[in-house]
Amino acid sequence: MALDLPSISEAQTLVEELGDSVIFYKVGMELFMCGDYFGFIEWLQARHKKIFVDLKFFDVPATVGRAIKALSHRGVDLATIHGNDAIMEAAAAAKGDLKVLAVTALTSLDRGDLDDLGFQCDVAQLVLSRAKRALEIGCDGVVSSGLEVAMLRQDLDQRLLVVTPGIRPVENREEDDQKRVVNVAQAFQNGADYIVVGRPIRDAADPKAMAEKIQQQILDQFSIN
């Protein structure tokens, strides 16, 4: 689950409320800016939670490499970097046992956004190109919209971990900033290894009940397969 909350204390309250219904948490930039980010990670680890550090490192490759090396000693499970070749090379060389995921294209981007950024290819081509390079360079996986996962599974080695954000158990709202979204069943049918769910749980009237409902949807999907 994505802990996109404005304070550490609110994140801790939600984790306690969710209890055993969630064991894997994504901790991103919003909580990084709240102070004591690594203290909170240690707090999660003390409760036997798995940690996905989603800071999307993007800097001079040597700087990213040193950051990943330092993070590899923190006992976290996954971390994100941007899918630039030199950055991926530096991170892959420094990651140790940490699994590094390359961001292909943010799920908030659509064709119009890519035009503004100067990309001539479509979203699917960009995602596939970056995923191929990530695997060749030595990253462990990618972050990809569920819309592109089936294509990745068709064209790339099954060793590549695929983490899919932008999961919406219900129809997407107009004010939602996530544009390329899928539901739980679609993500796993397309071949995702992990999904990231944030707002649908965080904003639910009963977050634990929603988390348990999504867990059941996952179990149902695997029982079908």
Q: Return the active site residues.
A: 56
Q: Is 173 exposed, middle or buried (0-12, 13-18, 19+ CB in 10 A)?
A: exposed
Sign of the C-alpha dihedral, residues 145, 214, 81, 77? negative
Strand partners, 51: 25
Integer CA distances (angstroms), 41 to 11, 27, 60, 77, 209, in order: 11, 8, 26, 11, 24
CA distance 106 to 58: 14
Q: For residue 78, give both structure tokens.
A: 């996954």
Strands (E), 110-160: 141-143
Instruction: Return the half-sphere exposure (C-beta side, CA atoms, 13 A cut-off) of residue 178.
Output: 22
Single out the residue of 190, 194, 129 nearest to residue 163, CA to CA: 194
